[in-house]
Chains A and B, each alone.
Chain A
Amino acid sequence: MDLHFGDSKPTDEERAAVDALLGPPESSWEGADRTDADLRWARGGRAARDRRDLLLPGLHAINDRIGWISEGALGYLCRRLTVPPAEAYGVATFYAMFSLRPRPATVLHVCTDLACTAAGAGELCAGVEARLGPGSGVHVERAPCLGLCERAPAALAIRAGDPVRTAVAAPATIEAAVGAASGPDSAPEEPPAGRAVPQAGQEELLLLRRVGVVDPSSLDDYRAHGGYTALRRAFELGPAGVIREVTDSGLVGRGGAAFPTGRKWQATASQPDQPHYLVCNADESEPGTFKDRVLLEGDPFALVEAITIASYAISAHRALVYIRGEYPRALHRLRHAIEQARARGLLGDDILGQGYALDIEIRRGAGAYVCGEETALFNSIEGHRGEPRSKPPFPVEKGLFGRPTVENNVETLVNVLPVLEMGAPAYAAIGTGASTGPKLFCVSGSVERPGVYELPFGATLGELLRRAGVREGLRAVLLGGAAGGFVRPDELGLPLTFEGTREAGTTLGSGVVMAFDDTVPLPRLLLRIAEFFRDESCGQCVPCRVGTVRQEEALRRIVDRTGAGAAGDIALLREVGRAMRDASICGLGQTAWNAVESAIDRLGAYE
């Protein structure tokens, strides 16, 4: 590889941001001043290229410090990591949170997704944009779901600098959002994570039992509330025993695909290829989902412990958590928890004196829904564009860095703690035969008490909505988020289990339950869903890249039409949707048409 760099030079600030991550450059090959020694041998090569996975953290470092990524800064980062500038440019332009053009240091992300739109995000956006025009020093960005649906409408301000500062305004008034953007440091503190859990403190909780009860920054408090008993139990059982317990518990993945966790662990553990990796998918970007954020913010040590157990079971010595870029508080809390665990010997070379070594690294996403797809997430960590890979081979065989990898969602991992604490039979007794254990539901929209609810599998939709205090005039409930499906108000008897929803022709997905009353114009909602998928399609395969555009165009045409006036476009939508479902590479394209289809078929959206 013969790298070509342009003439643009980094500013001192940009250089400092990159050096803070990578250390000072060692030779002129990496961008330092030239010395005589540099003329005698070349540096770089494989050793530098093996650090390609630092490309995304490097882009974050520049973007966090300056607010955007200049040609000089990108060139310097490429020099440091021996990455071709064209490829780094391709990676940087993939993510919505990076800008390759100059922009103000402060960016205000105003959520325009489903729950926020229903709560008046339109007026909020217009008002904020009117107040923060050019020259205000704030760049306003209409953002996809920020995962703050229980406090809709939401806005997130990010001010570049050293260190980068963030502020959340939710529920946001125009005043509060402008205030957060103008002075992120003086903005009012976010309410504690426990406020997102209406059941906080109740006895029957398993996954949420500590949220709002323990101090999320205190390892001692975590241990005082039963923390690290599951890890001790895991060491008693040994790796094979842990996998057996998890398999017997019937635990399946909570990210949406519902794959049996024990089987995934077993398949990875038995791979002769080394090393094995554990990846925790905390890139929670499905519109309407915020359960992982609440767990990370309210009980971060639980995730650290669960990752330790999972890594131990599959003999991984390096685990990575990929956390979405829009979750500053969750990132901060988890980082703190990992540091604490490391300092106390609960991570590191000899965990609890058992001779088992593990370290956990955090990687931040940068605004790409598709990176929640497991193989896209690997590519993103590895410093490539977050495009899904074609399967097979599956991650258990060739995952992160081409090695056997288990990738689990945050909620899935946290479920491992009660499995080990209470034993597989007791855990499996919760819920129904095919869907065992407790499940988190993200309830938002037209309800009195939005938030994360924990119920055993098998509770009905009506039961959940009653707990959340559903308001009068319910028109539709969206299950599973933008990739899920709508159900009618007369289907509240639906049991919330994987098999129950499947039987009813819908999906549980990641546990989103979004209620809409009859004041929300359904066609606008569907158009927003289509816009979301058009924006978030990675562009790799034709059915999704062009199909999402054609779907959005058709939904825009019929936004004010019904009956015969919409019939032609609905037929078109069905044909394109069917090809997207059949022929797209990954779940994004395959499910992009689900919600719209269900609205047409179940709700009669255009009748």
Chain B
Amino acid sequence: MTVTPLGIPRRLLEFTVDGEPVRVPEGSTVLDGCRAAGKDVPTLCQGDTLRPRNACRVCVVEVEGSRTLVPACSRRAEPGMEVRTGTERARHSRKVVLELLASSVDLSTTPGAAEWIKEYEAKPDRFGPDAARLNEEPRVDNELYVRDYGKCVLCYKCVDACGEQWQNTFAIAVAGRGFDARIAVEHDAPLTDSACVYCGNCVEVCPTGALSFKSEFDMRAAGTWDESGQTETTTVCAYCGVGCNLTLHVQDNEIVKVTSPHDNPVTHGNLCIKGRFGYQHVQNRG
């Protein structure tokens, strides 16, 4: 029997998005309302399994009465709010934020980035050839996953997933300040000297590919990564009795990476090292 959690019944509240009325349950965010109204508001640092950090600021919208723009991902919807998603002011900020990001980090593996840059007519090259960038070699210091700082937008999602929101390992944090801020373990040591337990839950939430599985990283480097040729099969992890869901990404009859469905009511996309990385025996054809 499938049990569908119903939760506490919540009242609906009504506000307007671009002049059209929207009804969302109490406690929803402005973003929930925008999406319910079918408005496309881009997001980067917003995670479906994490509390909003509103760090990237691409989701900003105009709210009547607010001096500044408002991050849709974190602002609670209030009755009677007048939200406008497509004004010149909001679009300008999104465009500049995309330009600032794309001119400083590599967004080539960020889903949606290329389309947004096109849609908002962002021109990251306008800051000139000498614009500061995070040109760093990817750090490959373990067998399981790679940290490519050149792609990091500092969305804090990996830190939140590693820390109190999910894993409670606290292996990584934001260190430094301003443009020099970076995600690091203590003393910026190699991962192998840190508290990391290699659950890979940070990789699961990374929106830009700055964190990627070593398998994927190597295949991309070799030019053999072919997402369109992959199948995804969701199954149950066989290691212990918890029953986490695994989504096996298979290319050419080989498992190339393992993710987990975020809408799983128990694990919310989180796994441990065994479920995430312990699949080699499956393809051991001896």
Contact = CB atoms under 8 A, between A and B. Distances in A.
Contacts of B65: none
Interface of A: 1-4, 6, 71, 74, 84-90, 93-94, 96, 100, 368, 385, 390, 392, 534-543, 545-550, 553-554, 557, 572, 575-576, 578-579, 581-585, 590
Contacts of A368: 177
Contact of B178 (A84, A536, A585): A536
Contacts of B252: none
Interface stretch (B54-62, B242-250, B255-263): B54-62
B193 interface: yes
Nearest to B100: A546
B56 A541 contact: yes
A541 B55 contact: yes
Interface string B52-96: 001111101000000011010010100000000000010011011
Contacts of A2: 168-169, 195
Interface residues of B, number: 53
Interface stretch (B16-24, B128-136, B198-206, B228-236): B128-136
9 contacts: A86-B195, A94-B175, A540-B154, A542-B97, A542-B100, A546-B103, A553-B132, A554-B127, A584-B57
A20 B194 CA distance: 29
Given A390-B74, A545-B154, A584-B57, 9 more contacts: A4-B171, A85-B195, A86-B184, A89-B175, A539-B154, A539-B179, A542-B97, A545-B181, A579-B92
A357 B185 CA distance: 43
Contact of B130 (A90, A543, A553): A553
B153 interface: yes
A271 to B, nearest CB: 18
B232 to A, nearest CB: 31
Contacts of A547: 96, 100
A583 B130 contact: no
A84 B174 contact: no
Which applies to chain A's interface (DSSP): helix, strand, loop or mixed? Answer: helix
B170 A543 contact: no
Given A390-B71, A545-B178, A548-B178, A89 B187 contact: yes
Q: Nearest 10 pairs between A and B by C-beta? A: A4-B195, A84-B170, A539-B181, A579-B96, A90-B173, A85-B186, A546-B100, A583-B93, A537-B178, A89-B186
Contacts of B95: 579
B174 A90 contact: yes
A550 B131 CA distance: 7
B96 A543 contact: yes
B79 to A, nearest CB: 15
Nearest to B176: A93
A554 B57 CA distance: 22
A583 B97 contact: yes
Contacts of B172: 86
Interface string B180-221: 110011111100011100000000000000000000000000
Contacts of B74: 390
B130 A546 contact: no
A86 B170 contact: yes
B118 interface: no
Contacts of A579: 92-93, 95-97, 100
Contacts, number: 167
A6 B192 CA distance: 11
A590 B68 contact: yes
A474 B163 CA distance: 55
Interface in B90-133: 92-93, 95-97, 100-101, 103-104, 126-128, 130-132
B171 A86 contact: yes
B69 A87 contact: no
A575 B186 contact: no
Select the residue from B71, B128, B177 with max chain A CB neighbours within 10 A: B177
A6 B177 contact: no
A458 B164 CA distance: 51
A2 B197 CA distance: 10
B199 to A, nearest CB: 12
A554 B104 CA distance: 15
Contacts of A585: 54-55, 57
Contact of A542 (B56, B170, B177, B186): B56
A547 to B, nearest CB: 6
Contacts of A71: 186-187
A536 B100 CA distance: 18
Given A543-B97, A546-B101, A1 B186 contact: no
B154 to A, nearest CB: 7
A134 to B, nearest CB: 23
A542 B174 contact: no
A67 B128 CA distance: 40
Contact of B177 (A94, A392, A578, A582): A94
A94 B195 contact: no
Contacts of A86: 170-173, 175, 184-186, 194-195
A550 B177 contact: no
Contact of A582 (B68, B104, B130): B68
A161 to B, nearest CB: 25
Select the residue from B101, B103, B127 with max chain A CB neighbours within 10 A: B127
Given A546-B100, A578-B92, A582-B89, A1 B168 contact: yes
B184 A84 contact: no
A553 B178 contact: no
A553 B128 contact: yes
A538 B178 contact: yes
Contacts of B194: 4, 86
Nearest to A576: B96
A231 B193 CA distance: 56
Nearest to B69: A582
A535 B132 CA distance: 14
Given A86-B172, A579-B92, A539 B177 contact: yes
A72 B193 CA distance: 14
Select the residue from A1, A89, A385, A583 with max chain B CB neighbours within 10 A: A583
Contacts of B130: 553
A572 B178 contact: no
A576 B123 CA distance: 12
Nearest to A84: B170
B57 A535 contact: no
Contacts of A575: 92, 96
Given A71-B187, A590-B68, A539 B176 contact: yes
A84 B76 CA distance: 31
Contacts of A84: 163, 170-171, 173, 195
A541 B126 CA distance: 21
A149 B130 CA distance: 35
B87 to A, nearest CB: 11
A543 B55 contact: no
A355 B229 CA distance: 76
Given A89-B186, A542-B55, A549-B132, A583 B68 contact: yes
B131 A553 contact: yes
A545 B169 CA distance: 27
A583 B127 CA distance: 19
B105 to A, nearest CB: 9
A87 B130 CA distance: 33
Interface string B30-71: 000000000000000000000000111110100000001101
Nearest to A554: B127
Nearest to A550: B127
A543 B100 contact: yes
A93 B103 contact: no
B97 A539 contact: no
A553 B180 CA distance: 15
